[in-house]
Structure 1
Amino acid sequence: MTRKSTPKVQTILLVTGLSGAGKTTVLKTLEDLGWEAVDNFPIRLAGPLLDIPASGGRSDPSIPLALGFDSRTRGFKADKLIRQIKQLQKNPDLNVMTLFLDCAGTEIERRYSETRRRHPMAQDRPAMDGIAQERMMMEPLRRWAETVIDTSKMSAHDLQNDIRVRFNSEVTPHSIITITSFGFSRGVPHNVDLVFDLRFLRNPHWDNQLRPLTGLDAAVSEYVEADPTYDEAMRKIRDLLSYLLPLYDAQGKAYVNIAFGCTGGRHRSVHVAEQFGKWLREEGFSPTVVHRNLTSRAIDALEGPANGAKTKKTKRGSERK
């Protein structure tokens, strides 16, 4: 007997509240968490919207949907909206919730003053008049909402963190980590958060047997790891990342780019990037490892003098022995 699969339930979060209370911040944060977000959306069109394929090219009920609306939404009437929400909630394939963002009138007035924008309901009168009128219009929705967040004493950052805690469905919500190996002789990568210079390690380039190889080869890895400074340096870098990465997660940093550089970007940096990619996976992260200069041509002039090489001065300048 074949068991019928249980259809997935589409989660819909209706985000509303007072103008200036943080609706845009909430929708952007939900979008970063993988939600589909639509602002200023007429609730009567929610049904047709669900029939439109998601951005992945197909309708996917596993992608939660956030719909933002407030007093500026066309045809806004609180009682009518509540009736439309009730109709949506009767659908067994939908999980419909309402989030209301509240805020003290004096704080909303301050926010509009700082941004030099006019309150949408007070184009030709004091902002407090428009705030009071909108509060009366929105009160039925405030009473109806399952979740009410008062943002009066919250910064945008505080609100973002609150939304992540409430609506992040990920089991291990980490920043997206990219590890890049590169050669300093060819420039530092763009948009790097943390750069580690590995040029203190002995250079496999000056070993004729290792030069054609890369940091992906076992012989090069053994050579680099045999450097007497290697173990202690790697331990200290691990300690630093163990301290910093949870702090980045707590701050909601979406992307963390870590770069390991050596001279040419083919040996030391490649090996170390691979090792840290492996270590981070063991720690529960999912890093992407990129080797920018792995296929670059090895050039002696870029690598500098060989380890232990001495120079002497002549009348024409410096030259190798």
Structure 2
Amino acid sequence: MSTGTTIEAGEAAEAVIPELVIISGMSGAGRSTAAKCLEDLGWFVVDNLPPALIPTMVELGARSQGNVARIAVVVDVRGRQFFESLRESLAVLDAKQVTRRIVFLESSEEALVRRFESVRRPHPLQGDGRIVDGIAAERDLLRELRGDADLVIDTSSLNVHELRAKMDAQFAGDEEPELRATVMSFGYKYGLPVDADLVVDCRFLPNPHWVPELRPFTGLNEEVSGYVFNQPGAKEFLDRYTELLELVATGYRREGKRYVTIAVGCTGGKHRSVAMSEKLAARLASEGVETVVVHRDMGRE
């Protein structure tokens, strides 16, 4: 939601205060996941910003000429002085009529112990004691902040995808979460891309490398692309694989996955995979998927 309140009355250019969300809660309850979800929804996210600097961050956002309309700040309360600083900042924000919400991530002791033990890390407040001692100290320290929270999410029985779904329900509005795709051509002789989510093989198509007049060019050349897509099965493959990706994309959105890398390979990564990647990316873009094309091996000999 937006507000027309200004930082300073009488400024030459009216500065619109951005919407603010403060994310806090128990360590291990999912603060980072909640912050990442807001980041994927287009929020400007700052992790572990000292609470005393929150009003300054809001003021800077107000002077960004609308480029920073929504700010999310993750605060990690580990001491009484830190907590008092946060309360002072909240009072400043309220005095300036900043539209702000506090999201508090909660979880049961059993779930938190299990999570800390699974990553083999101590609780930040346990000191020389046990994990449960750190959890108890943090819960006592955050009790008042939890009471002031606008939204409390208990993540005891939630996985990452379910937590993302809850955040989407609160902050995405009626907009469907965006999916961003990278379509990457590559050559098998140079190895598989390590960051690929999906890999497809174009080596079933005849290789333009063996056509002397096409060999010097790449799949970006119209003659090479025409040669590739005039081969039996090429257009049908593009059609059917696009349909499959539409189904996969729907599932990715439902599960909260925002980014996907689709690797398209041929022998050298110069002809067939490049031509197919270009066509595939155009199809995805026409379906509303934000798409980037990368030709990893096109310049290699």
**The two structures share one fold, judged by TM-score above 0.5:** yes
The RMSD of aligned alpha carbons is 3.4
Instruction: Sort the Cα spacing of 1:84 and 1:213 in 2 relative to 1 into closer, same or farther, 3 A.
Output: closer
Query: Equivalent residue for 2:145?
Result: 141
1:85 to 90, 93, 96: 90
Alignment match, 1:290: 294
Query: What CA distance in whole angstroms lies between the structure 2 residues aligned with 1:95 and 1:61?
Result: 17
| Residues 41 and 177 in structure 2, CA contact (< 8 A), matched pair in contact too | no
Distance in 1, matches of 2:278 and 2:294, equals 9
Counterpart among 23, 30, 34 of residue 31 in structure 2: 23
The farther-off stretch of 188-197 and 271-280 is: 188-197
SS state of the match for residue 262, structure 2? strand
In the alignment, does 2:261 pair up with 1:257? yes
The one-letter code matched in structure 2 to 1:25 is T
Q: Distance in 2 between matches of 1:187 and 1:77?
A: 51
Matched, 1:238 2:242: yes
Cα displacement (A) at 1:185: 3.6
Residue 75 of structure 1 aligns to a residue whose secondary structure is helix
**1:11–1:221 distance in 2 versus 1, CA, 3 Å:** same
The match for 1:226 among 226, 230, 240 is 230
Q: Residue 62 in 1 paired to residue 68 in 2?
A: yes
Number of the residue aligned with 2:192: 188
Pair 1:268–1:120, CA change in 2 (3 A):
closer
- Equivalent residue letter for 1:88: L
Structure 2 Cα separation of the partners of residues 205 and 70 of structure 1:
58
Given that 2:15 and 2:65 are in contact with CA atoms closer than 8 Å, whether structure 1 keeps it comes out as no
Equivalent of 1:266 in 265, 270, 276: 270
**Cα deviation 1:243-263 (Å, max 9, x = unaligned):** 222222333334322122223
**2:211 aligned partner:** 207
For the pair 1:45 / 2:50, whether they are aligned, the reply is no
Q: Is the 8 A contact 1:40 1:72 kept in 2?
A: no
How much does 1:53 deviate? 7.9
Comparing 168-177 with 269-278, greater Cα deviation is found at 168-177
Say whether the 8 Å CA contact 2:33–2:164 is kept in structure 1. yes
C-alpha contact 2:54 2:89 (8 A) present in aligned 1? no
* Structure label with greater radius of gyration: 1
Q: What pairs with 1:120-131 in structure 2 (closer than 5 Å)?
A: 123=127, 131=135
Aligned partner of 2:162 in structure 1 is 158
> 1:40, 1:73 within 8 Å by CA — same for their partners in 2?
no
* Distance change >3 Å, CA 227–CA 148, structure 1 → 2: same
Contact 2:179 2:290 in 1 (8 A): no
Which string of whole-angstrom CA distances, capped at 9 and with x for unpartnered residues, describes residues 218-249 of structure 1?
A: 33333222222223322221222122222223
Unpaired stretches in structure 2, ≥5 consecutive residues: 1-11
Using the size of structure 2 for normalisation, the TM-score is: 0.77
Deviations along 1:132-152, whole A, 9 cap, x unmatched?
Answer: 565454333223221111122
Asked if the contact 2:123/2:131 (under 8 Å) is kept, the reply is yes
- What percentage of residue pairs aligned between the two structures are identical? 37
1:179, 1:289 within 8 Å by CA — same for their partners in 2? yes
How many angstroms does 1:296 deviate by? 4.3
Q: Give the AA of the match of 2:102.
A: T
Q: Deviations over 1:31-68 (max 9, x none)?
A: 454444444444333223445689xxx78652532223
Query: Where does residue 177 of structure 1 map in the other structure?
Result: 181
